[in-house]
Structure 1
Amino acid sequence: MATTPDSVTIRRATPADAAALAELGAATFTETFGHLYPPEDLQTFLAKSHSPEWWSGALADHNRAVWVIDHESGRKIGFIVVGKCKLPVQNLEPDAGEVQQLYVLAEFHNLRLGTRLMEAGLEWLASQRRSPLYIGVWSENYGAQRFYGRYGFNKVGEYGFPVGKTVDHEFILKR
């Protein structure tokens, strides 16, 4: 069955989605970045950052919003998390927002689903008067850097992002 714009629904996630988002978050992070880490570092990170408990907290946080893509098959295939900026930005503006996570399962890439999620997230950030906006992106994720560049994000800093004992070199982008 081919995936078309009519075969998916993008909606605001609810607390009932926490377990499915934990599974989807772990799957998308692993397929995108899992090859970069020793297995124990990856498992430590996933247990902390993609547990049902973490997702329950994120979904209950009034400073965050999460959208999920439901495929007609019943699978959840992508998501975006946006909210108050939590990146290590010097002199961070009090109303700064952040695109915290944006992932779509690889088999559904090139269907403009990331664009649809990004537009939903940016619309919510604007409705919350979050400005300026930031994104943290792995220094070697050139595709993501190009994608965010199309939305006017430019590199303004760098930081270390821990995945277990491994620390990734990340860029901070700002719009």
Structure 2
Amino acid sequence: MNLRQAVPEDAPVLAELGALTFTHTFGHMYTPKDLQDFLTTTYTLEQHLNPLTDSRESFWLLEDDNCQALAFGWAGACKLPVPNLESTAGEIKRLYVHPDHQGKNLGSRILKKMLAWLEDEGFGPLYIGVWSENYGAQRLYARYGFEKVCEYEFAVGNHRDREFIFKRA
């Protein structure tokens, strides 16, 4: 397996894997229209290409020996609705593992790389948003020192999810 920093040419793979993983994990929660509206605005080539060209954002791509994408993570400047957000705050924006490869500690491997990158780039404190009922992700983030600090509503089409914001000082 190869974990590397993604480049602009990886944008189509990131968009496709993001849409696949989101749909597999959460798709059952939404109406087809809400899900489709969300996917067509969130998992586009442009939504992935723009941050890939921003030095304050970083994608990490984990591939198998045949260069097939297994998982990816995205980290950068915090955009979460945190009250009194610190100007140097960083965020784990996405941590997605292909449905066929979940439970193999691939997410932890990418998370460690993103945390190190955020620290090296001078971000702090760090935040992450996680669905209120994604208990596995919450346990993972707690193992890395994240604690719940607030909540907000995450829009998927017309649907609103209860989302927790975790912070690591």
2-structure distance, mates of 1:11, 1:63 = 17
Alignment equivalent of 1:100, drawn from 93, 116, 129: 93
1:129 aligns to 2:122 (yes or no): yes
Count the aligned residue pairs. Answer: 168
- Please give the secondary structure, in 1, of the residue aligned with 2:71: strand
Q: What is the TM-score normalised by the length of structure 2?
A: 0.97
Aligned to 1:44: 37
Q: Which runs of 5+ in 1 are unaligned?
A: 1-7
Shift in Å, 1:58: 1.7
1:150 aligns to 2:146 (yes or no): no
Residue identity opposite 1:132 in structure 2: P
Shift of 1:118: 0.3
For 1:52-98, what per-residue CA distance to the aligned partner results, in whole angstroms no more than 9, with x for missing partners?
Answer: 11111121122210001111233211100000010000110110000
Q: Verify: 1:119 aligned to 2:116, yes or no.
A: no
Aligned to 1:14, which of 7, 15, 20?
7
Where structure 2 has 5 or more consecutive residues not aligned to the other structure, the ranges are: none
Indicate whether 1:79 and 2:72 are aligned: yes
Q: Measure the CA separation in 1 of the matches of 2:48 and 2:90.
A: 19
Q: Secondary structure at the match of 1:93?
A: coil
Secondary structure of residue in 2 paired with 1:173:
strand
Identity %: 50
> Equivalents in 1 of 2:39, 2:70: separation in Å?
18
Matches within 5 A, 1:30-41: 30-41=23-34
Matched residue, 1:4: none
| Secondary structure of the structure 1 residue equivalent to 2:3 | strand
Equivalent AA in structure 1 for residue 129 of structure 2: G
4+ residue stretches of structure 1 with deviation over 6 A? none
Separation of aligned partners in 1, 2:14 and 2:24: 15
The TM-score normalised by the length of structure 1 is: 0.94
Quote the offset at 1:126 in angstroms. Answer: 0.3
